[in-house]
């Protein structure tokens, strides 16, 4: 069964007892936040947070930052530095079994690839700058419009806007 036949859902209260590391995913923290919100608090020692998911068939998966921050080892980046890092990083994926891990990782990766710059900017402003959703959307729209006016030939649908007849509009 592939990820399109077996969708996954963020399930903060999913029972993760008995799960263990079944794989890894290389992804930006900001993309995870944009798609799923801030992670739930975790043990505060080996992980700083996690997202829990279930499939329609009842499989449970988690994404977490296993031993990636100074909570575990003082030589590693702080939780804030880890989360604000602009590049993709390796996160652990947990589950009760290996079955379905490939579908789950593909599902998350495909969702991340479909994010727009506008969505990422709004999430950043909300979660890292403390703005409300409506304020973050307003700021992001202004920034993108200003960018479009300054660099009209660089504007593409991947930025979350289109230009037509000299105007820019949110998608």
Q: What is the pLDDT of residue 62?
A: 94
Band (pLDDT 50/70/90 cuts) for residue 168 is: very low
Burial 107-119 (b: 16+ CB within 10 A, else e): bbeebbeebbbbb
Q: Is the pLDDT of residue 60 over 90?
A: yes
Which residue in 28, 46, 23, 37 sits closest to 89, CA to CA?
Answer: 28
Q: Is 122 left (phi over 0), alpha (psi -120 to 50) or beta?
A: alpha
**What number of other Cβ atoms are within 10 A of residue 74's Cβ?**
8
Higher pLDDT, 53 or 141: 53
Q: Where are the domains of the chain?
A: 8-113, 117-170
Band (pLDDT 50/70/90 cuts) for residue 153 is: low
Which residues on neighbouring strands pair with residue 60, listed in sequence order? 54
* Cβ contact 43:50 at 8 Å: no
* Poorest-pLDDT segment among 36-40, 43-47, 91-95, 111-115: 43-47
Question: How much is the pTM?
Answer: 0.77
Instruction: List, in sequence order, the alpha helices (H) in 85-132.
Output: 101-113, 117-129
Helix (H, G, I), strand (E, B) or coil at 5: coil
Band (pLDDT 50/70/90 cuts) for residue 147 is: confident
Residues 80, 83: Cα–Cα separation, whole Å: 5
């Amino acid at each position: 069964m592939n990820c399109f036949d077996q969708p996954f859902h963020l399930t903060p209260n999913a029972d993760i007892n008995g799960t263990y590391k079944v794989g890894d995913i290389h992804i930006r923290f900001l993309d995870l936040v944009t798609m799923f919100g801030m992670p739930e608090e975790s043990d505060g020692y080996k992980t700083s947070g996690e997202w829990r998911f279930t499939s329609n068939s009842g499989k449970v998966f988690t994404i977490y930052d296993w031993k990636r921050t100074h909570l575990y080892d003082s030589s590693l980046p702080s939780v804030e530095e880890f989360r604000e890092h602009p590049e993709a990083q390796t996160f652990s994926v947990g589950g009760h079994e290996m079955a379905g891990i490939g579908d789950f990782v593909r599902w998350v990766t495909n969702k991340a690839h479909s994010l727009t710059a506008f969505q990422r900017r709004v999430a950043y402003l909300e979660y890292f700058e403390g703005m409300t959703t409506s304020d973050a959307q307003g700021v992001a729209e202004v920034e993108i419009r200003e960018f479009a006016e300054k660099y009209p030939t660089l504007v593409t649908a991947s930025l979350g806007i289109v230009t037509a007849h000299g105007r820019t509009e949110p998608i």
